[in-house]
Chains A and B, each alone.
Chain A
């Protein structure tokens, strides 16, 4: 039984309790004073007035405070929720069984124990009760909605098996919350059967769950948490003349081993063993296994690194693919009168870095044709207008173009429709010691490297720059401190054009001398070109969009299943649920795959460190939805009866006030003075 308040805001009236306390402390001021012939002598004495700060009549004060408190409580409309609790206890149960099927559940005998626990929960379902079975890893799948048939639920559990994905308790609890909304009249109960992996708690913080939902966790993990996993690989290409070799370094992680463990790590490329190392792993921690350099096979390369199997086999094999050389070709179109050192900083900045390596090829404006654009990822117009021709359709098909505006373009802006802004002269900021960046659209992908260091961009100063006037459909993603656009961007169908008024040379500004120049330029070319590096591997739970590679994608999964992603953008992505290699074909499976992607379980799944089941719900917010829902169903008359307590409280406060009046006006309290001698004064 608990006490609720209909209008708890009225409890603010409890502030009025300060009134009787104040009056009590001031009481001596209000009583009839003792009239004395002269204070001539008393005024000479050091008089302590502590009596004013002391409660002289605690009983009277208590009664007055009690009366005020009761009145405030009555206005807050109290009610007992005993009836609701009783109703809830008599309701049928609606049990949601959340069964963890993440990769870690394949460790030793965890899964059979989980299945047994699930069956025991199903057995507790009585007449009128319902149970739903939800399988979860990183996502939740309703294996069977609410049913009263134990056999059906048991079959759903029996059909489940551990997968190769990570763990997310939040997804499971959300699914349970959603399911339970379909059973508002039942007592809500959620049973989570899991190995209680700590890595799965992400996302629980801030999750809203109704208070009426009773959550019970059944931990089925084993005490032996020792595990070894291959968690990553780094591959370096070594080109010597015409011969290219690769040197691989695998990262092996051990967790809670009983002692150092000797294992054999084997590297295989395209199914052929290419190297092996015998290593001794520490009890806990990372260990790098360096394999000898091996010749790079032709075509797509799929590889694996395998260590000796342990109790959890799914993370003992690591899959990876080796994409073709990752390179981005940039055509730098410079005007005829451009000096060589004008683009020096820009070219040097792009030359630094790998994955992808940026190759800059200087071109004159007239040399840009369809053939030169075929292998280009980006065209940079250095203070020169794009000429009419193949650049426009190339951009619209997905190419990227950067227009770096300067004094030449300000004088002769050209007429190309892909230029996102016109130019009206030059802004000279030499007089005020140069301009700086002002407003930035920091959420734009161009500024990803600077989101945590926004101030670093403010150090650059610009003496002279063109006045851009953006055309329709153009986004201004950066402005100078005088409000003029600094960087504008416009999407052209699948492509993108970015125009900079920011001087990229050292004559009109000092941006090339700033530390931000290199990451900004690299991000500029990657963002504008839309280049995406091909990863060596992905993890289960991610998705893969093969439509960007082939027109009619057909995907072969590691288990041999054939997937034909829908052509629309929403369904084009393939969910990567299995560890292994996914192969992409165009139209039909056969021949050389158009692309491959290796998938491994999340590294976090290899760490079997459990979390205390009580900690699982620490970050969860509980709301009164369940109680409110139950109350909403109560009849108005019943609701009124529950709240009739306020009348009793009002009567009680009236009685207290009467008692206070009687107490205050009778006995010694009725006498005003508190001096023993009562003066007889004649008027």
Chain B
């Protein structure tokens, strides 16, 4: 295994041959971490940060009994590394995700990414949960340190189909995740950026940290084909006859504008926007996740 270049394990085409998501996630993370062991991002600090007064609902196990003995008051000892955050992976399972011009579809890529991130999070002490959604919530696995296998099993049997309503789904996610945590949204973002921005703002208002992985297939970026063809919407079934060769330039302009708008709205809402092209290795996404996770880890 050591003779294999780590990047190979992150190549989507390679990952597509691995049917076991757990193995896949482990392969990805270990391969990724193998190349990162000298990286400053390698782990979370466990240094003491501060005491804060006990508040109703705090875990009794985190009470600093020594401080209680001295002051007769309940204090909670906080460490920088002790986030132990709940990470909810929200994977878009709408029909539009069931598209891929290369070896993997966006949904497959999303599953790989979700599994890998969940594996990574689990092994860094986070509680992981999963929500798949289309125009509503399909599968909901609440965050837990014991739910990784369930997550991977659910991901392995999920299919992408049906119409998607990203805004509605995000609102529902905000509704069922009252505890602040990390929301990792894996979607193709076929929604009005303004609406997505509002939904993200709602999540942020609930003190969630939001990372949005925008999956982009090269074909939907470039609009394939030259001759006349009928294009069918994977979600609605609507058909449009067109000549892609004549529309490509304008189409690309619209896609770029969409991505720019998404980035703008996400930034304004305080979310991390990570565009991910599905023909690229997973490491870029993992880097982006770790960057965001590190920044959010300094929770007090």
Contact = CB atoms under 8 A, between A and B. Distances in A.
Are A and B subunits of one complex?
yes
Interface of A: 28-29, 31, 33-45, 47-52, 56, 673-683
Given A677-B219, A679-B219, A681-B99, A39 B233 contact: yes
Given A47-B241, A49-B242, A680-B101, A38 B226 contact: no
A39 B105 contact: no
B107 A682 contact: yes
Contacts, number: 129
A50 B228 CA distance: 9
Interface centre among B106, B107, B241, B250 (most CB of A within 10 A): B241
Contacts of A29: 230, 241
A41 B258 contact: yes
Contacts of A676: 224-226
A52 B227 CA distance: 12
Contacts of A677: 101, 219, 224-225
B242 A42 contact: yes
A35 B232 contact: yes
A341 B258 CA distance: 108
B103 interface: yes
B18 interface: no
* Overall SS of chain A's interface: loop
A675 B224 contact: yes
B27 interface: no
B277 to A, nearest CB: 14
B235 interface: yes
B176 interface: no
12 contacts: A28-B229, A37-B188, A37-B220, A42-B247, A45-B254, A47-B241, A47-B242, A47-B247, A50-B243, A56-B228, A675-B224, A675-B225
Contacts of B108: 682
A40 B228 contact: no
A274 to B, nearest CB: 99
A47 B243 CA distance: 8
A48 B96 CA distance: 24
A129 B111 CA distance: 102
A33 B236 CA distance: 14
A37 B241 contact: no
Chain A to chain B: the 8 pairs with minimum beta-carbon distance, closest first? A675-B225, A677-B224, A51-B228, A37-B96, A33-B230, A33-B232, A41-B254, A38-B190
B142 interface: no
A34 B225 contact: yes
Contacts of A679: 99-101, 219
A680 to B, nearest CB: 5
Interface string B243-254: 110110011001
B220 A675 contact: no
A33 B246 CA distance: 18
Contacts of B243: 48, 50-51
Nearest to B242: A47
B255 A41 contact: yes
Contacts of B235: 37-38
B98 interface: yes
A216 to B, nearest CB: 62
Contact of B240 (A43, A675, A680, A682): A43
A28 B96 CA distance: 23
B231 A48 contact: no
B241 A49 contact: yes
Contacts of B288: none
B290 interface: no
Given A35-B234, A42-B251, A43-B240, A681 B226 contact: no
B239 interface: yes
Contact of A38 (B101, B233, B246): B233
B35 interface: no
B242 A48 contact: yes
Interface in B234-283: 234-236, 238-244, 246-247, 250-251, 254-255, 258
Interface in B76-101: 95-101
A78 to B, nearest CB: 39
Given A41-B251, A45-B242, 16 more contacts: A33-B239, A35-B99, A37-B190, A40-B190, A42-B247, A45-B247, A47-B240, A674-B227, A675-B226, A677-B101, A677-B224, A679-B219, A681-B98, A681-B99, A682-B105, A683-B98
Interface centre among A41, A43, A44 (most CB of B within 10 A): A41
A36 B258 contact: no
Nearest to B225: A675
A47 B250 CA distance: 11
Interface string B94-133: 0111111111111110000000000000000000000000
B99 to A, nearest CB: 4
Nearest to B224: A677
Contact of A675 (B97, B103, B229): B229
B209 interface: no
A51 B231 contact: no
Contacts of B244: 675
Interface centre among A36, A40, A679 (most CB of B within 10 A): A36
A153 B272 CA distance: 118
Contacts of A36: 99, 220, 231-234
Contact of B231 (A42, A44, A50, A52): A42
A34 B230 contact: yes
A673 B240 CA distance: 14
Contact of A674 (B103, B229, B255): B229
B202 to A, nearest CB: 22
Contacts of B159: 682-683
Interface string B32-59: 0000000000000000000000000000
B218 to A, nearest CB: 8
Interface centre among A28, A43, A680 (most CB of B within 10 A): A680
A202 B241 CA distance: 66
Nearest to A31: B230
Contacts of A28: 228-230, 241
Contacts of A675: 224-227, 229, 244
Given A28-B228, A675-B224, A37 B254 contact: no
A31 B159 CA distance: 26
A529 B37 CA distance: 140
A498 B255 CA distance: 101
Contacts of B188: 37-38
B247 A680 contact: no
Contacts of B100: 679-681
A39 B229 contact: no
Contacts of A38: 96, 188, 190, 220, 233-235
A573 B9 CA distance: 124
A679 B225 CA distance: 11
A356 B97 CA distance: 110
A33 B101 contact: no
B220 A674 contact: no
B37 to A, nearest CB: 35
Given A42-B247, A49-B241, A33 B99 contact: no
A147 B225 CA distance: 84
Contacts of B246: 48
A37 B219 CA distance: 10
Given A36-B233, A676-B226, A52 B241 contact: yes
Nearest to B191: A40
A45 B188 CA distance: 20
Contacts of B219: 677, 679
Nearest to A673: B229
Contacts of A34: 224-225, 229-232
A42 B236 CA distance: 14
A369 to B, nearest CB: 104
Contacts of A44: 254
A45 B96 CA distance: 19
